[in-house]
Structure formats: structure tokens, C-alpha cells
Structure 1
Amino acid sequence: MRLVPIECVKPNSIIGKTLYDSDGRVLVREGVTLSEGVISKIKNINILSIYIIDEYSSEEIEDIIKPELRQKAIITIKEAFSNINRLTVADKFSKKETVYFENIENMAENLIENILSNRNILLSLVDIRSMDNYIYSHSVNVAVISLIIGITLKLPKKQLQHLCIGALLHDVGKSFIPKEILMKEEELTPEETLILKQHSTLGYKYLSDSYNLSAHSKVIALQHHERCDGLGYPNGLTNGEINILSKIVSIANAYDELSSGRPNKKAMFPSDVLEYLMSNAGKIFDYDIVITFCKIVIPFSKGTLVELSTGDIAVVQETLPNFPLRPIVKILRSTDSNMINKEVNLIDEISTVITSIKYEL
């Protein structure tokens, strides 16, 4: 299967992954043949891309966490974030507030166990997100990416727990930012940008004044936009002053935002995202953590149709560890008939690169 923007999906396509609505209910089950009407309904609930099965890619792409666990995690975050502003002063430290944090702690434990039980530690995200649930899906993705980085760095389990809880809550301060700013499709004004930047201090203050979370988890909400060169916010910290867990979440946050897109920005090309991270290693991001991350990420999932710098169209067959931008591909269309159906390992073809993702031949 392969991920295709909803505007490129044609009637009679077969959906490869079950779609859920914003409340976690099944909308369209995998294996269903899509009619024009169903495609229109998917567009109307702001789902930008879906997985389809076709002659180019029929094999399943496995998520690193179980689909039902991902949906449960999204709903857990949504319930917590959506109710924060509704809590009264009397609710502080009460069972009403505590239950949300207990659910998040339990979810963090489930995510850790699920990922640790997965033999394949390479990162290939397969979530299908609705823009209506953007913040919640993003929080779960950042937690998953952060955990994979933490596991690769061989962090002890206690630190993984702090990391996962902090990653799930890193954007909790956005609950206090006006929705018209969070979901604005146009570029933010300088004044709106300043308001948005307050989310890190607002989130940290809320967590500090509320539930008895670990300081290691709380500080992630405060520091995930700090930069190693001291040009980040809110406190302009430099490399040695930033908590390692915050450094991990900073990279996971940037990768998910840039590769998945945001309400006011389109997704970047996968290789451009990695090049952005690598070019800013040691400046925005921790150098060693970026190098580790770039060895475990799969920017072009198996089944992705790509155009090569040779002009050939190919389908990704496999990505080898340490070489995320140089997968093995099978040529589907070429001006050289001898190349059709030939497998090419881009590690061996240094002059050939992937130039774009294609959605049809």
C-alpha cells in the first residue's frame, strides 16, 4: 500500500488502512472500495491523505505501534487537552483533573511496552491524521518518535517513561492559545507568532501548578523550542543548559511537523526534512541525536512511487539502516526498456537521487 493525497485518490481505489473519525470511531474499514461519495466525505472531515492498495504496492505497511493503541492514545490526549480550560480552581488537584494525567501515564507505559516489543526499530510513520485532530495526533507521533530515539540511545526505562509523558504533554500549553491562531491557514502575523510562542511557558506553568509529574517530564513542555545555539525560546538556553529529553522531543517535534504538514504549512519533501535536520545539527538541534535519528528513520516507505533523477519512475522496495535517502527501488517506467522491473540499490548509484513522489504512473 502507499500513502496518497486525498485529492489524488480515484473512485474504485481500495483503502489500505482503516479511517477513524475525530472521536476514534471507525469511519471506513480497510479493504473497502471507495466511491466518489465516500472520497468526498473523507475530504469533508479534513483528512489529507489515505493509504490505498493497488498494483504498484499491495503489501501492508506496519505501524510501529498497534493502530488501536494509536487511536486510544489520540483520544486520551484529546480528552485531557480539551478539558483543561474547563477545569475550575476547585478542580485543581482533584480527582477530576488527576484522572487525565493518570490516563496519560498509563498510555505512556503502554506505548513503551508496545514499541519495545517491536523488533523493527526503524521509524516509518503510517498514521492518517485529520486536521481537526492535528494537535492530538501530533502529540502522539512526537511521543512515538521520541521513544524510538530514546531506545536507540539506550536510555533506561525510567527515563523513557519521563520522555514519553513529557512528549505526550509537550504542547499542553496550546490549550491556552486561541484556536483561531492554532488552526489559521494563512501565515501568522508577528503578534500572533508571539502569542503562539507563549505555549511553552503556559504549558510548563500549568503542569507545575497541577499534577505531581516528574520534573523531567515537565521541563520538556518548557524547553522543546530551545536551540543549541541559544536562539530558541522562551529562555534562550544553549546546548549544555538544555535537558537531553527536551533535545530529543525538539527533533521529534520538528520532524513530525515538517513531514506531516501543519494547518498553515504544507508537508516538506522527505529528503528535504532530513537535510534540514542535518544542516541544523549543532545549531538548532543536538548534533549527536540528529545523527542517531537519521540512521533509524525511513522517509520513503515501502510501496512509495518515486521519480528518480534519471527520469525513471520506481517503487520503493526496502530501506537499509543508516541510509534513509538511498532505498532499494524497482523501476516501473523508463525510456530504457532493459531497466523495466529491474531493482536498483541507490546506495550503489551515487549519482541517482529521488527527486519527487508520484501518485500515479
Structure 2
Amino acid sequence: MRLVPLESVRINSYLAKTLYDIEGRVLLNEGTKINTVLIEKLRSFNIDLLYIIDDLSNDDIKNIIKPDLRNKALELINSTFKNAEISGLSNDNDEYLKSVYLLAEELLDAILSNDDLLPYLVDIRNLNLNTYNHCVNVAIISLVVGINLKLNRTELLNLATGALIHDIGKAFIYKGLVMKDAPLTYDEFELMKNHCQKGYNYIENNAFINNDIKMIVLQHHERIDGLGYPNGLFGNQINKLAKIVSIADIYDMLTSQKYYIQSMCASDALEYIMSHAGTIFDFNIVKVFSKVIVPFPYGTVVRLSNGDLGIVKETFSNFPLRPNIKIIKSNIKENEGTTISLINELSIVISHIEKVV
């Protein structure tokens, strides 16, 4: 099993994992044979990555959370946002926000039950950037970072809860703007920026929601250099948990397809975040983030600097850019089928992800 870009899926390949839409409904069952009609259907749903079964990788890829928990999360976030849209700024949100906090507990416990978080993170980005899916993804990424920052359980639960509702202010933004399938104009972007303050206003007087969660909703677009919004805060003026969600938010946006924007490969997204450590993002959090994110996930086909073609077989904490690679094509025939460690082979680097094999 491996993860393959939709444009690289071969006709008559078999789907390795059941595929769900953004509402949690089954689109395609595991074992379905892929044909041109199905590929066009998936493209219409803005799905650009599939798990397939082929002869390059026969091993299983585990989910960081089970599909039923992901579907439960999507349903709850969907209903929470819709309730916000209907109720406006009334206080009719206790039931939903309490449910989100309980969901955060489930997500945290599910992630903590994994022995190794690294290989499974890729599972979070196999759908398009729907707002609800995005919020669940951001919560998962934030939790993985928070766990590696050694946050205590209370902080982790606040982090997950805030991440799950960080974009709830978009419920009060004109839907045509939120769903627009073209770049926003300057004026439209100025309107979109209001979602932080609107989301904060919605939860501000809720006694069940503590200050850390409120600050995540309000501050997740603030920047360390003071050029963020809505209040242009600097450095330590920004809540620590909001800084984590800020990084997770950008990473998921960059690596997910949103209508008119093609998704960026994980290594490029990681490079973008690392290059802005100390300006947009908190340097120390980026340092941890760069050690736990997987830029070349298990099953990725890559071209090496020596010209060999290989498939990622194992990734390592603290060395995410230097995985173990199984050589599948080489000018030196005896190298084919062998596995090399880029931690040991320092003269070899990954040049790029090879989309077509």
C-alpha cells in the first residue's frame, strides 16, 4: 500500500483504504478497482491523493485516528459551525462546545495510544481543504506537536479544543467568500480577516470555554514579527497554544488542495515554515514541528541525488528528511531491492518526489 497523487494512479489499480467524503459518507470502498470514470468523480470532489495497492509496497499504513472517530469529528464540527451560523452571537452554544471538548479528549487519547506518531501523520491530508476537515487536521497536527513539546494534559485538551474551533468565526462570514474558488481580492481578504474576532466574540462569554481556548480562536493568525491580525501582537504577547495552532493551520492549508490552489508537497511546506521561523512563527515551536512532521511519508516514491529511484520505507524522529529508502530502480542493477539509510549515506539526498513511476 502507498499514497499516490490522483494524476499518477494507474487505471485498474485497487483502492487500499475506504474513501469518505467531507460529510463522512463512503465514496469508494476498499478494494474498488480504479477506472477513468472514478478518477473523474474523485477529481470533482477535489481529492488528489489515494492509497492504492501495488507491487511497490505491500505493507500496511496505519491511521493516526480511526475512520469512525474522524467521521464523528467531522459531523460534530459541521453541526457546531452550523449552530453558530444559525444562533449568531447568542449564548446557545454550551451543548456544542462541551461536545467539542469531549471530542478533544477522544482525539488526544487516540493519538497517545500510538507508539510512533511519525508514519501516520500523512493520513490527515488525503482530502480537500473543507473547513471542517481542516479543523480536524489542525487539531491532530497541533496535538502531535504539543505532545512533543511536553505539554500537560490540560494544555493538550485546551490546544485540541481550540484547534477544532479555531475557524468558527467563518460561520459569520459570507459563505460565497469562504467558498470562493479564486484568489480573494484585497477587500475580500480584509473581510475574511474578521473571522478571528467574530469567532472570539461568539465564545467570549461562554463560561465553559477557558482563556487559552479563546486566545487560540482570536490569535491563530498573529505573527511573531507583529504583522499578523487581528491585533498585530509581537512575540510573547501571543498565546503559546495559539502559536502552535498557527503553524498547524498553515501547514494543513499548504498541503491540502483548495479549489483553485494545487496542494504543496509536505517537504516544500516544511521548508516554508522553517524559513519563516522567528518571523511568522515561533522559532522553538518550529524546531519541534520540523522533527515530528513527515515531509516524505511512508510509501512515497522519491528520486535521489545519485539518480536512483526509491520508495520511503521508514522515517525517524529528529531526522525526518533522512528516511530509509528501498531502491526500486538504479543504473547499478545489484542495488535494486536493497534498502539504504540516508542517515548513514550523507552524500545522498532526496532530490524530489517522483509522481509517476
Same fold (TM over 0.5): yes
- State yes or no: 1:343 paired with 2:343: no
SS at match of 1:86: helix
Determine the C-alpha separation between the residues in 2 that align with 1:56 and 1:211.
Answer: 53
Identity %: 45
Q: Report matched runs for 1:49-60 at 5 Å.
A: 49-60=49-60
Any conservation in 1 of the 2:125–2:137 contact (CA below 8 Å)?
A: no
1:28 corresponds to which residue?
28
Please tell me the residue identity of whatever aligns with 1:330.
K
Pair 205,245 (structure 1): closer, same or farther in 2 beyond 3 Å: same
Determine the C-alpha separation between the residues in 2 that align with 1:111 and 1:255.
Answer: 19
- State yes or no: 1:125 paired with 2:157: no
Any conservation in 2 of the 1:183–1:264 contact (CA below 8 Å)?
A: no
Unaligned runs of 5+ in 1: none
Q: CA deviation at 1:48?
A: 2.2
Determine the C-alpha separation between the residues in 2 that align with 1:243 and 1:278.
Answer: 20
2:91 corresponds to which residue?
93
Please tell me the residue identity of whatever aligns with 1:249.
V
- State yes or no: 1:197 paired with 2:193: yes
- State yes or no: 1:162 paired with 2:158: yes
* 4+ runs deviating over 6 angstroms: none
Please tell me the residue identity of whatever aligns with 1:205.
N
Q: CA deviation at 1:210?
A: 4.8
Q: Report matched runs for 1:37-52 at 5 Å.
A: 37-52=37-52
Determine the C-alpha separation between the residues in 2 that align with 1:330 and 1:235.
Answer: 49
- State yes or no: 1:153 paired with 2:170: no
Any conservation in 1 of the 2:22–2:133 contact (CA below 8 Å)?
A: no
Any conservation in 1 of the 2:169–2:197 contact (CA below 8 Å)?
A: yes
**Deviation per CA, 1:282-302, whole angstroms, max 9, x where unpaired?**
111111111111111212111
Q: CA deviation at 1:317?
A: 0.9
2:274 corresponds to which residue?
278
- State yes or no: 1:137 paired with 2:104: no
Any conservation in 2 of the 1:277–1:290 contact (CA below 8 Å)?
A: yes
Please tell me the residue identity of whatever aligns with 2:273.
L
Q: CA deviation at 1:32?
A: 2.2
1:311 corresponds to which residue?
307
Determine the C-alpha separation between the residues in 1 that align with 2:307 and 2:182.
Answer: 34
Q: Report matched runs for 1:227-238 at 5 Å.
A: 227-238=223-234
Q: CA deviation at 1:88?
A: 5.9
2:3 corresponds to which residue?
3
SS at match of 1:255: helix
Out of 346-355 and 155-164, give the one that drifted further: 346-355
Any conservation in 2 of the 1:223–1:242 contact (CA below 8 Å)?
A: yes
1:13 corresponds to which residue?
13
Determine the C-alpha separation between the residues in 2 that align with 1:185 and 1:309.
Answer: 37
- State yes or no: 1:266 paired with 2:262: yes
SS at match of 1:12: coil
Determine the C-alpha separation between the residues in 2 that align with 1:29 and 1:128.
Answer: 18
Pair 33,148 (structure 1): closer, same or farther in 2 beyond 3 Å: same
RMSD (Å) for aligned C-alpha atoms: 1.9
Pair 128,219 (structure 1): closer, same or farther in 2 beyond 3 Å: closer
Please tell me the residue identity of whatever aligns with 2:50.
I
Any conservation in 1 of the 2:125–2:256 contact (CA below 8 Å)?
A: no
Q: Report matched runs for 1:57-72 at 5 Å.
A: 57-72=57-72
Out of 236-245 and 209-218, give the one that drifted further: 209-218
Q: CA deviation at 1:266?
A: 2.0
Q: Report matched runs for 1:168-179 at 5 Å.
A: 168-179=164-175
Out of 15-24 and 4-13, give the one that drifted further: 4-13
Determine the C-alpha separation between the residues in 1 that align with 2:88 and 2:175.
Answer: 20
2:318 corresponds to which residue?
322
